[in-house]
Structure 1
C-alpha cells in the first residue's frame, strides 16, 4: 500500500496562487533576544513572511496583524524560530542576526547561543534543512507537542500534513509506546500524520563551520493507524 500524505486545502484559499518560497533582495536585520530572532519594520516583516511564511507575529497566533488585517502596530515584530533563523542567515544569506548590542553573530556564536536554549538544536536544525530540501513549508509544532508542522503550500492555503518529532539517536530516553500512542491520538484528532525523524551524529563533531552539519544522518518513520474504511474507499476510487 502506497503512503499518501494528507493535504487538506483551506476553504477560500486560491487553487492557483503560488507563494515565493524564499525572500530575496537586500539583507534583513534580525535581533537575537536569547529565545528567538525578532525582525522589525513593516517592509522587512512583509518581505520575510510573505515569501515562504517564515516567522509569526509576536502578538499574533500566526502572521502579524500587519499582513492579516492591515493594522500597523509598531510594537509587533516578526518572531523567527531558531532553526528558520539559522537557515535564512547562514544558508540562504538573507538575514543578518545581531545581538541586542547590534553586534553581528557569526554561525558558531549563534549556534552556541541556540544550544543554550535547545540542547538538541543541532539535530533540529539538521531536520529543518532536511525537510526544507524536500520542498515543505515548516512552522513550529509546539502547539501540538511536536518540533515542527509541515505544509505542502503553506498555512494560508493548506492545513499541516505532518507533526514532526525530532528524536536524537544519542538520546538514551527512547520514545515509549504510550507516548507514541498519545502523539498518534493528537495527530488523528487534528487530521495529521506523525513523522518521526531519528538523527544520528558522530561521537565527535565540531560546530565551527556550516558544513559540519552534513555529518548528520536522518531516518524517517511515519506513524499512521490503518483505517480500513478509508483504504477500501481509496481502492474503489482508483479502480
Structure 2
C-alpha cells in the first residue's frame, strides 16, 4: 500500500533525522548514563531524565507510565524491546527482582518463562528493528506487531505483522486455517495495512540460550487480497459484445 505520511513536511522531517541516527544516539546516551532497567513481571521499567526521555520517545522504545516520582519519567519496555537494548545494542543493564544484574542467558530464560514463544517473537522483532523499522504492538489490530518506516507521529504503520513458527502448530496457531487468513487480510485491508507474515525457522536448534538466534532463519511473506477488478478485460470491449458475460 506504500507509505502514508501524516501532513506536509513529514517525509522531509523523517529523511533529515533517520531512525538509525536516533537509535544510535539513544544507545550512546544509555551507555554514558549507565541506565538500568528493572524487571517487573512481563515488562522492564526504566527511569529516565529529560534527555533520555526525549530519545526514548523519538526512537519509539517503551511507553511512558505515570508514577509519583517527580524527578524521573518512567518507561515500560516490552520483553522484546528490553532484550534488544540489552543483547543487541548492549546499552542497557537489567536488574532482576533480587536487585542483581542479569546476564543475557539469565534474561533469556526469564523471558522465555514469561512468554512461551519469546524466541520467535524476539527474532521477528529484532529482524525488523535492525532494518530500522519502528516496531510496536499490533494487538489493537489483531496481529503481533505493526511496523512503521519512521516515528508514528510522522507516518502511519505500513505492515501488520504476524509471527509464525515453522513446525510448531500447537504453539503458533495463527493463519493455519483459511478462515483466519481471510479475516486477518480483510482486517488489514480495512485499516490500510499490508499483511506481513514472518516465518521463524529454528532449524532444530536448542533455544536454551540466546546464541540460538544466530541459527534462526526468517522468511518474509506478504499476503494480499486478490482484486478481481484488476483482472477483468477492458469494460468497453465487453460492453460491445452482448453475448459475453461481464463476470
TM-score, normalised relative to structure 2? 0.78
Match of 2:23 among 21, 24, 27: 21
SS state of the match for residue 195, structure 1? strand
Deviations 1:86-117 (A, max 9, x none): 11111101211112332111111111111122
Task: Name the CA shift for 1:35/1:74 in 2 (closer, same or farther; >3 Å).
Answer: farther
Displacement of 1:140 in angstroms is 1.2
Match of 1:58 among 60, 65, 90: 65
Structure number with greater Rg is 2
In the alignment, does 2:44 pair up with 1:37? yes
Match of 1:159 among 156, 161, 177: 156
Q: How many residues align?
A: 215
The residue aligned with 1:132 is: 129
The residue aligned with 1:237 is: none
For 1:35 and 1:12, the matched residues in 2 are separated by 39
Unaligned runs of 5+ in 1: 65-71, 233-239
Displacement of 1:28 in angstroms is 2.1
TM-score, normalised relative to structure 1? 0.80
Unaligned runs of 5+ in 2: 233-247
The residue aligned with 2:239 is: none
Task: Name the CA shift for 1:116/1:88 in 2 (closer, same or farther; >3 Å).
Answer: same
Match of 1:47 among 42, 47, 55: 55
Residue pair 2:49, 2:72 contacting (<8 A) in 1 also: no
Which has the larger helix fraction? Answer: 2
Match of 2:7 among 8, 11, 18: 11
